[in-house]
Amino acid sequence: MKVVGIIGERQSQLMEEPDPHAHGELALVKIIAVPMCTEYKGFASGEQTCCLGHEAAGEVVEVTQPSRVKVGDRVVVMPLYACGQCPLCLKGDYIYCQHQLDFQKVTGQATGNVTYAQYLLKQDWLLVPIPDKVSYDHASMACCGLGPTFGAMQRMQADAFDTILIAGMGPVGLGGIINGLFRGLRVIAVESHPYRAKLALKLGATAVINPQEADPLGQIMDLTHGLGVDKFIDCTGVPAAQRLGIDAVRRRGQVAFVGEGGNLNIHVGNDMLRKGLTLHGSWHFNLGDVPRLMQVITKSAKLLDELITHKFAMEDIQRAFELQLTKNCGKVILYPWQKSGSLAT
Ligand SMILES: [Zn+2]
Ligand SMILES: [Zn+2]
C-alpha cells in the first residue's frame, strides 16, 4: 500500500509498504478520507518518517472473527490503541488509557497503525459506525475537526446560557465554533491570521479578536459587559493565548486546555482562589458521547462544508502540506485512493 513519508525539510512523497491484514479484534479499514491535523509541523522541520496521521474515515474490508463491525461497514477511526479493559477504557475515557497495545507485538505487523495511508488496522470497538446519510468527509470531522472541542464542551457542560472564548482557529479550533453554535453558545474567537479570522466569522463566531492588536483583553471585556466570558477553550498550546483566556474568563468560570504545549504560569491566589476557576485538561471525547457528536455532524452539514476548505489526492501530499504552511485553509482532507490532481481545490 501507499503511505506518506517525510523525506526532508519541506519534502514529502508517497512510499510503498506491505499491506496490513486483519488480526484478532483489529479489523482492516480501507481509508477513504484523511483529515490533516498538525503533521505539517513535521513536514516543516523535516523529521524523516513514514508514520503520519491519526484521523480517518473508511470502510471495513477484512475481519478475522465475529466482531462489532463487518466487511462493508462505513466507520470513523478513533485515535490510539487503548487496552479496552482498564477502568478508563470501560468508562469510555479510552483516550487516557495507560496501557496502549504494543501494535507490532500484538499484530506481528509493522504497518497499519497510521492514517496517512491506504489501509489501517484498528480494534473493532474504536471504529464508530457512520450513519447512512452522513458522508465520509463529514463523518471524519468526528476526529480532531470536532472531537476535541466537543469533548471540552461536554466536560464544561457548555450550554446556551454561555459565552465561550476559543483561541486558535486552526484544524481543531474552527470546529469549536460549529460545536458552540449547535449548543446555542455565543462564540468569541481569538485568531490573528486573516484567512482563519474570516473563516471563523463565516462559520458563525460573534467576533474575532486579533491578539496582536491593542488590548485584546479589553475587547473581550467590552463584549461581555465587563464580566468576562463564561468558558474558554485553548486550541493553541501557546502560553500567551492561554493567559489571555484565563484573564478573560469570569469569576467561577471554566477553562479547557485542548492545544498541546507551553509552560503556562498559573497563580494559585489570583487565578484559582480569588477567581474560583475550574481548569480542565481535555484531549478528545468520551466514547459514550458518540451518538451526540453524530447529531452535531448530521445537523451541521452546511457548516462542515465551510470548515472543509480543501481536498487533495494523497498523491498530492506535497501541495497539501505547502498549503497548510500558509494557513490559508480550514480543514484539509486527503484521499488515499484518488489520482493526482483529481481533487485539488
Ligand atoms: Zn485501557
Ligand atoms: Zn488531529
CA 295 to chain centroid: 17
Question: From the CA of 287, how far away is ligand 1's center (Å)?
Answer: 13
Question: Tens digits of per-residue pLDDT, 94-135?
Answer: 999 999 999 999 999 999 999 999 999 999 999 999 999 999
Nearest in space to 139 (alpha carbons), one of 330, 343, 296, 332: 296
Question: From the CA of 83, how far away is ligand 2's center (Å)?
Answer: 20
Instruction: Please compute the mean of the pLDDT values over residues 46-61 and round it to a whole number.
Output: 97
Instruction: Please compute the mean of the pLDDT values over residues 13-37 and round it to a whole number.
Output: 97
Question: From the CA of 92, how far away is ligand 1's center (Å)?
Answer: 9
CA dihedral 333, 336, 342, 343 (to 10 degrees): -10
Locate the domains of the chain by residue range: 2-130+300-335, 147-281
Q: What is the pLDDT of residue 147?
A: 98
Question: From the CA of 288, how far away is ligand 1's center (Å)?
Answer: 15
* 147-281 CATH pick, 3.40.50.11740, 3.40.190.170, 2.115.10.20, 3.40.50.720: 3.40.50.720
Question: From the CA of 35, how far away is ligand 1's center (Å)?
Answer: 25
131: alpha, beta or left? (left if phi > 0; alpha if psi -120 to 50): beta
Ligand nearest to the CA of 34: 2
Question: From the CA of 56, how far away is ligand 2's center (Å)?
Answer: 10
Question: From the CA of 198, how far away is ligand 1's center (Å)?
Answer: 41
Instruction: Please compute the mean of the pLDDT values over residues 38-51 and round it to a whole number.
Output: 96
Within 13 Å of residue 287, how many CA atoms lie on the same side as its CB? 23
Question: From the CA of 97, how far away is ligand 1's center (Å)?
Answer: 4
SS3 333: strand
Q: Which residues pair with 120 in a beta bridge?
A: 29
Can you tell me which residue has the cell 465475529?
Answer: 66
Cα(139)–Cα(297) distance, rounded to whole angstroms? 7
Task: Read off the amino acid at residue 288.
Answer: G
Question: From the CA of 328, how far away is ligand 1's center (Å)?
Answer: 38
Per CATH, the number for 2-130+300-335 is: 3.90.180.10
CA 225-236-240 angle, 5° bins: 65
Question: From the CA of 62, how far away is ligand 2's center (Å)?
Answer: 25
Is pLDDT larger for residue 341 or for residue 75? 75
Question: Tens digits of per-residue pLDDT, 220-258?
Answer: 999 999 999 999 999 999 999 999 999 999 999 999 999
Question: From the CA of 152, how far away is ligand 2's center (Å)?
Answer: 15
- Residue 345's pLDDT band, with cuts at 50, 70 and 90, is low
Quote the mean pLDDT of the chain.
97
Can you tell me which residue has the cell 486552526?
Answer: 170
Dump strand ranges (E) for the chain.
2-8, 11-16, 26-35, 56-62, 74-77, 119-123, 127-129, 163-167, 186-190, 207-209, 229-234, 249-257, 278-281, 308-313, 331-335
Question: From the CA of 223, how far away is ligand 2's center (Å)?
Answer: 31
Portion of the chain with pLDDT greater than 70, in percent: 99
Q: Does residue 53 contact residue 118 with C-beta atoms inside 8 Å?
A: no
Question: From the CA of 73, how far away is ligand 1's center (Å)?
Answer: 25
- Residue 344's pLDDT band, with cuts at 50, 70 and 90, is low
Question: From the CA of 115, how far away is ligand 2's center (Å)?
Answer: 11
Question: From the CA of 308, how far away is ligand 2's center (Å)?
Answer: 14
- Residue 341's pLDDT band, with cuts at 50, 70 and 90, is confident
Q: What is the pLDDT of residue 262?
A: 79
CA dihedral 149, 153, 155, 160 (to 10 degrees): 180
